[in-house]
């Protein structure tokens, strides 16, 4: 009991002196340099917890990162033993085929380019040459990238454009408006759509006075991040 009392007295004597006047909305806490500081209860509590919790959080984050890295190394080594070199050839890839499109939305009627909203996907791919492999997902007419990397992106399209047989000119509202297909990407964290590649070509006038036939191949190499959503747009989806 005597030892305990002596310890308590020693702690009390060693504590900094607390100011005699403290408002009811204030509190006193040891500051960074050791002295007692009084002030707004909310501010001091916030500062105190920030000083105490931040280092602990950083340590937990560091340990979690190390744990993830070790787990990846273990899984990679195990998969390498199972699949040998073929494991590293399992690269995300997809190929989709378009299908009949829904009616235009009001927001697309006067737009310069209109997105292709429907593609063969899921079991529909069984009847096509399309596929989706190693993490690539399909969502709302877009392909969602699974991992960061450099991707080869392409879009092949072909269509027929009717002509006025009397003049052999394309039967369109504005012959000066070019034909444009393009590939775009969107990421929810960036919030803005970005054009990756676009092809522009004029309406052609052929010896066939009834229709024009177009075939174009749009391609690009792109640095994509996990979560990027790829979509295709064309200048006139009615073709």
Specify the pLDDT at position 185. 94
Q: In the chain, where are the structural domains located?
A: 26-88, 89-234
DSSP the chain: -HHHHHHHHHHHHHSPPPPS---TTEEEEE-TTSSEEEEEHHHHHHHHHHHHHHHHHHHHHHHHHHHHHHHHHHHHHHHHHHHGGGGGG---EEE--B-PPPPPPGGGTT-SSEE---B--GGGGGGSS-EEETT-EEETTEEEP-S-EEEEEEEEEEEEEEEETTTTEE-SS-TTSPB-EEEEEE-TTT-SEEEEEE--BPPP--S-SSEEEEEEEEEEEEEE-TT-EEEEEES-TT-
Specify the pLDDT at position 107. 82
Specify the pLDDT at position 34. 64
What's the CATH code, domain 89-234? 2.60.120.40
pLDDT digits (tens, 9 = 90+) for 16-53: 554 555 555 677 766 666 677 777 777 777 777 777 77
Specify the pLDDT at position 86. 62
Specify the pLDDT at position 83. 62
Low-confidence ranges of the chain (pLDDT < 50): 1-13, 15, 18
């Amino acid at each position: 009991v005597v030892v305990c009392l002596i310890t308590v007295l020693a702690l009390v004597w060693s504590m900094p002196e607390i100011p005699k006047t403290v408002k009811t909305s204030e509190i006193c806490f040891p500051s960074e340099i050791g002295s007692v500081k009084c002030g707004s209860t909310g501010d001091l509590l916030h500062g105190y917890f920030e000083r105490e919790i931040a280092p602990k959080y950083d340590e937990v984050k560091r340990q979690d990162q190390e744990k993830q890295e070790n787990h990846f190394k273990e899984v990679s080594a195990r998969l390498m033993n199972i699949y040998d070199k073929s494991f590293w050839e399992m690269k995300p890839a997809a190929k989709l085929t378009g299908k009949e499109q829904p009616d235009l939305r009001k927001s697309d009627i006067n737009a310069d380019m209109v997105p292709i909203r429907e593609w063969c996907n899921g079991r529909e791919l069984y009847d096509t040459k399309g596929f989706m492999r190693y993490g690539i997902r399909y969502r709302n007419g877009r392909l969602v990238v699974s991992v960061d990397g450099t991707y080869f992106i392409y879009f092949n399209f072909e269509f027929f454009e009717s002509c006025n047989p009397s003049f052999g000119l394309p039967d369109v509202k504005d012959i000066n408006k070019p034909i444009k297909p393009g590939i775009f990407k969107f990421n929810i964290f960036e919030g803005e759509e970005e054009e990756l590649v676009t092809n522009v070509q004029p309406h052609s006038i052929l010896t066939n006075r009834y229709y024009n036939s177009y075939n174009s191949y749009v391609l690009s190499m792109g640095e994509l991040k996990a979560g990027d959503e790829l979509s295709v747009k064309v200048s006139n989806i009615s073709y």
